[in-house]
Amino acid sequence: MATSPNKAQEQQSFRQFVKTKPELFAVLKNGDLVEGWVLEKGANALMVDLGRYGLGIVYREELQNAREAVRGLEVGSVVHAKVREIDNEEGLVELSLTEAGKQKAWAEAQELQEKDEPIKVSIKGSNRGGLVTEIAGLPAFLPVSQLSTEHYPVKTSDEKNPAPDILEKLIGQELSVKIIDVNPRLSKLIISEKAATEISAKELVKNYEVGQVIEGIVSGVADFGVFVRFTENPAVEGLIHVSELSHKALENPKEVVNVDDAVTAKIVDIKDSKISLSLKALKPNPWEEAGKKYKSGDAVQGKIYALYPFGAIVDLEGDLQGQVHVSEFGGAEEMKEKLSLGQKCDFVIEDVKPDEKRIILKLKK
């Protein structure tokens, strides 16, 4: 049967009305967050006007659980609640205030994460894994791995469990962080100081380029290298890898620099917000002249720098090092009996390989 023109026009008008006023046709569901106004406040119940959804009620047990939120409510106050039951035995919408507060807090945390902007937090405490704070009334966790270089520049042998005083000194401080994980189901809210600082760092490094020479102060020393804070802009920090500290191999970066030392370094790489620096790039490369300085058969004196299972590393002049193979001694134990760290010995050069940065030595008979 064909629809009459008037009927079709009425249906079209109704559909248009629904599109322009969707809130009038919304269906209430368990778990929804609703807004209402306090009609009556008693010791055993709180009556709430939910407008088109009818009357809501908060029972005594829930009032006790949410007493902090209820204390400031009066007749006419706006209240936000979560629907527990749409139509209970009394024909009312049963509400929860505590669950609404938590849900609203998690929604706020989710919104902050989506904005992807830094926020300020005050550190409340610490544990072996990181720092604890609050965001929107929810407990938030800042893992050690997400601390900025400024606050955790030197790694320990156990990065997940640093010395407690490293973290305790941050309690009470205000840090700039970003939310990186929100999981209401697991009650997990993870934040990162590293992610927040990378935003500004990316902007700051735009002022620098590879090849530029900078002045800086050593802010941290680790096994893998040295952190340097730029003198002209302390917000910028670069890393000198241990291999870029000297032309010779190093056992410990502290052989070259220590915390608070002033250094001049060259920028050798910029990737994302990370600046790589070099000290040795500003020094003459001794290997360029090694082939002229030393020849096979030359007698030299050197100082034992390190002993390894494969042999000994010997310091020569001008940041050059030579190697004596363990076979010269018959074995590692025999080598340790004949040589000790810092000992000066006489050697004969067997071969010089500047391209491989190797000078092969033999004990002088």
Could you tell me the pLDDT band of residue 6, with boundaries at 50, 70 and 90?
low
Model confidence over 181-211: pLDDT tens digits?
A: 998 888 899 999 988 877 667 778 888 999 9
Q: Identify the residue with better confidence: 161 or 269.
A: 269
Residue ranges and CATH numbers for the domains of the chain are 34-96 (2.40.50.140), 107-199 (2.40.50.140), 208-282 (2.40.50.140), 287-363 (2.40.50.140)
For residues 35 and 158, which has the higher predicted lDDT (pLDDT)?
Answer: 35
Query: In this predicted structure, what is the pLDDT of residue 158?
Result: 47
278 confidence band (pLDDT: 50, 70, 90): very high
Does the pLDDT value for residue 159 go beyond 50? Answer: no
Among 19-23, 249-253, 334-338, whose mean pLDDT is lowest?
Answer: 19-23
Task: Tell me which of 22-26, 41-45, 60-64, 275-279 is least confident.
Answer: 22-26
Percent of the chain whose pLDDT exceeds 70: 88
Tell me: pLDDT of 266 over 70. yes
Mean pLDDT taken over the chain: 85
Residue 324 has pLDDT above 90, yes or no: yes
List pLDDT tens digits, range 90-120: 889 999 887 777 777 888 898 999 988 889 9
Contact 54/60 with Cβ under 8 angstroms? no
Q: Taking the CB of residue 157, how many other CB atoms lie within 10 A of it?
A: 7
Q: Tell me the three-class secondary structure of the chain, residue by residue.
A: CCCCHHHHHHHHHHHHHHHHCHHHHCCCCCCCEEEEEEEEECCCEEEEECHHHCEEEEEHHHHHHCHHHHHCCCCCCEEEEEEEECCCCCCCEEEECHHHHHHHHHHHHHHHHHHCCCEEEECCEEECCEEEEEECCEEEEEEHHHCCCCCCCCCCCCCCCCCHHHHHCCCCCEEEEEEEEEEHHHCEEEEEHHHHHHHHHHHHHHHCCCCCEEEEEEEEEECCEEEEEECCCCCCEEEEEHHHCCCCCCCCHHHCCCCCCEEEEEEEEEECCEEEEECHHHCCCCHHHHHHHCCCCCEEEEEEEEEECCEEEEECCCCCEEEEEHHHCCCHHHHHHHCCCCCEEEEEEEEEEHHHCEEEEEECC
Average pLDDT over residues 140-157: 73
- What band does 251 get if pLDDT is binned at 50, 70 and 90? confident
